[in-house]
Amino acid sequence: MENITIEKKFKTPIIIVSLLIPIVVALLFSVKLKDFGIEVEPLSFLPPIYASINGITALLLIFAVLAIKNGNRSLHERLMTSAIACSIVFLVMYVAYHMTSESTKFGGEGIIKYVYFFILITHIALSVIIIPLVLFTYVRALSEQFDRHKKLARITFPLWLYVAVTGVIVYLMIAPYYVN
Measured CA to CA in angstroms, residue 109 lies from 101, 115, 117, 123, 165 at distances of 24, 10, 11, 20, 23
Distances (CA, A) of 80 to 9, 153, 156: 22, 11, 12
Query: What's the whole-number average pLDDT of the chain?
Result: 92
- Candidates 84, 90, 106; CA nearest to 52 is 90
Q: Which amino acid is at 114?
A: Y
- Give 40's pLDDT tier (boundaries 50, 70, 90): confident
Mean pLDDT of 15-42: 85
pLDDT tens for residues 69-83? 999 999 999 999 999
Q: What is the pLDDT of residue 42?
A: 84
Q: What is the pLDDT of residues 44-65, one digit of tens each?
A: 899 999 999 999 999 999 999 9
| Angle, CA of 35, 36 and 42, to the nearest 5° | 60
In angstroms, the CA 83 to CA 97 distance is 21
